[in-house]
Amino acid sequence: MTTSDTIALSPADMKALVRRHIEEGFNHGDWNVCQTTLADDYAARYGAEGKANVGRDHYVMVCKMLRKSFPNVAITIEDLVAEGDKVVNRYIERGTLTGRAFLGIEPAGQRYVKPGTTIYRVADGRLAESWGVEDTLGWFRQLGKYTE
C-alpha cells in the first residue's frame, strides 16, 4: 500500500474515532461499532511485557463477557491527546457486578472504579493497535477478590 492509498485523519478525527469506539461501541454495547472502528488485524497489548495478546475478535468477545457480568459498565473519557498517528486516552471505567459471576467472583452488587490509560495507533481510518495499562489489582480488590 502506498502513502496515497492510506486514509490520513486529522487529530480531531482520530480523537472522534476513539470517542465513537468507546461511547457508541463499548458503552452502549454496540459490537458492530466496536468491530468497524478496529482494524481487521487489530492488536491490543496489555500487561508488563507489552506483547500483542488480544486481537479484534477476542477483544470484542471479552467486552461482551464483561457486560454480562457488569451490565452497567461504562468508560468515562478524561483526556484524549492526539499526535502523529496516535491517540492517548486517559479514562475511568465504572461498573457494578450484578450479572454473571466474573472470574470466580459471585455478584453481590460490588461497584468498582478503575482508572486506565490506552494509547491507540490509527491507520487507514481505524484503530490498528493499542497499548493499555489499568489498575487491575485495585479492581480485583474492589470486587472482593483480594483483601488488603
Q: What is the dihedral sign for C-alpha 136, 142, 146, 148?
A: positive
Strand, helix or coil for residue 65: helix
Q: Which long-range contacts (CB under 8 A, 24 or more apart) does 30-33 make?
A: 31/60, 31/63, 31/64
Residue 55 vs residue 17, higher pLDDT: 17
Q: Kindly list the structural domains of the chain, giving each domain's residue range(s) and its CATH number in brackets, ordered by start.
A: 7-143 (3.10.450.50)
Mean pLDDT of the region 114-129: 96
| pLDDT number for residue 7 | 73
| pLDDT number for residue 16 | 98
Q: For residue range 67-84, list pLDDT tens digits in order.
A: 999 999 999 999 999 999
Contact by Cβ (8 Å): 73, 91 = no
Residue 12 vs residue 53, higher pLDDT: 12
Contact by Cβ (8 Å): 86, 119 = yes
Strand order in the sheet with 38-46: 52-55, 38-46, 126-134, 110-123, 86-97, 74-83
d(CA 24, CA 34): 8
| Confidence check: pLDDT of 94 > 80 | yes
Mean pLDDT of the region 117-146: 94
| pLDDT number for residue 4 | 41
d(CA 34, CA 129): 14
Mean pLDDT of the region 110-136: 95
Mean pLDDT of the region 118-131: 96
